[in-house]
Amino acid sequence: MKVMIDICIVPLGVGVSVSEYVAACQKVFDEAGLSHQMHAYGTNVEGGWDEVMLAVKQCHEIVHEMGAPRITTSMRLGTRTDREQTMQDKVDSVQAKLS
C-alpha cells in the first residue's frame, strides 16, 4: 500500500524557531530515499506505507535527540486503491482545471 502524507512536526520546549528540526527531518526523508517536497507549512512525502511511517518515527526520534522534550505533529495520510497518483499528478490535476 502506497501512501502520500503531509506532515508538520512541531517541537515544544525549544523556543519559537523550529527550522533546524524541520531541516533534520528533511534529511531523514532524503536518507530514506523517499520522494518529498517541503512547503511553507509542512512537507509532502510519498512511498510505501511502512517506509514512510518508519521515516516519521525516525523524525520523532531525532527531534527528541536534538533536545525537544515534547513533539506534536499534524499529518494527513492519503491512500487509494483505484489508481496510482503521484504528488505531481495531484497538482497537475488541479492545474488542468484552472487553465
- Residues making contact with a second copy (CB under 8 A): 1, 3-6, 8, 10, 12-13, 15-20, 22-23, 26-27, 37-42, 44, 46, 49-50, 53, 56-57, 60-61, 64, 69-82, 87-88, 90-91, 93-94, 96-98
CB 29 to a second copy: min, Å: 11
CB neighbours of residue 29 within 10 Å: 23
Strand order in the sheet with 35-39: 2-12, 42-48, 35-39
Would you say 33 or 77 has its CB closer to a second copy?
77
CA distance 42 to 74: 9
Q: How many CA atoms lie within 13 A of 77 on its CB side?
A: 13
Would you say 33 or 76 has its CB closer to a second copy?
76
CB 72 to a second copy: min, Å: 5
CB 33 to a second copy: min, Å: 17
CB 79 to a second copy: min, Å: 5
- CA distances to 36, 49, 72 from 25, rounded to whole Å, are 11, 17, 14
